[in-house]
Amino acid sequence: MNKTIFLLMVIWALLRGQSAPENRFEILRQQLLKQKLQTGLEQQELEQQLTPLQQKIAQLQNKEDSQKKLAELQRRALSLSRQMIKLQNYLDSLNQQLSATNQILYRQYTQQLDSLQNLIRQESDQTKRKNLLNQMRILNEKRLQVSPELEKFSLNMQVIEALDLNRVTDPSKKTILIDYLQNLLKEIGEQQQKLTLKHHELVQMVRLRQKASSFVNEIDNTRLSSSVPFKQKQQTGIRPTGVSRDESYSQTSTSLQTEQPIAVVDLPQIDQLINQTLKGQNSVPIDSVLKSIERANQMLESYKQIIQNKLEH
């Protein structure tokens, strides 16, 4: 039995054991997603009940002859609020379990992709190579669904641009501000890595789709499961201790314009576009999604440069 046949048997067993529906982590992930959906629907239902109650309570609060009715409405509102808190705690637990499961599946899919790539490089039969490429395409798209989630990044540029460390004479305050800026840079860097991963995997998905539909022989010279094409960025929600909320971040703005005081990069929207594309629910071309990632990266890079300048001067 030659090495190629042996490797084919190994990867077939690996794919059957870890990538098929029997994979217990894939089953667990689907269960967690269903539970998240159901919990979200229950939250919406409770909120729909709570909102009119709160409105009625506000109307009755200043009416002395309605205190008995007001007390009853408040009891119902309190009960609904407690149910919502309980559901939110459960949802947080589901998210933690889902994140851990996604990490396991991501590592599994990456190992399988690396093994398939090695097989393709050793396989001379074009039909078998194309079949292996198709398996890589499927695995890559599954891996993309479990890659790290992007988070919203918000930054009060007025506060950052107004900072001048050279004019801060209090050593303690200066230390706090330096730590604040460094934490921002760290958070940006972490989100850049996630964006890099998303961009790389989308490019890889496009390449695999093209090769699966129109097979070419350059596969041996192409890295399909490792290299990252360009740098990208992350999100922020930190403010320095001792700095008032008005001087810090605001999570209320949804503007993506850099000239606005509060700069928000809604990175989760990119995840939504990617997931819709994978499920065939999105009419936006993949090239447009890639450009959105690049624009987000450029915005974050500009914020990074501003912060670095504050630390260096």
Concatenated DSSP letters of 16-49: HHHTSTT-HHHHHHHHHHHHHHHHHHHHHHHHHH
Task: Return the number of other C-beta atoms located less than 10 Å from residue 309's C-beta.
Answer: 11
pLDDT computed for residue 31 by the predictor? 92
Residue 203: CB partners within 8 Å, gap ≥ 6? 229, 290
Three-state secondary-structure class, residue 155: strand
pLDDT at 212: 64
Domain boundaries in the chain? 1-146, 148-313
Alpha-carbon distances of 245 from 125, 240, 249, rounded to whole Å? 64, 10, 7
Q: Would you give the DSSP letter of residue 146?
A: T
Token pair 């979200």 is found at 40
Biggest CA pair distance of the chain: 91
218/72 Cα distance (integer angstroms)? 73
118 strand-pairing partners = none
Question: Would you write out the chain's pLDDT as a tens digit for each of its 313 residues?
Answer: 444 444 444 444 444 444 444 588 999 999 999 999 999 999 999 999 999 998 888 888 877 767 888 888 999 999 999 999 999 999 999 989 998 999 899 999 999 999 998 998 888 888 888 888 888 888 988 888 888 888 777 777 777 888 888 888 898 988 998 998 998 899 889 888 888 888 888 888 888 877 766 654 444 444 434 333 323 333 334 344 444 333 332 222 333 333 444 566 678 888 888 887 777 766 778 888 888 888 888 888 988 998 999 888 7
| Stated pTM of the model | 0.62
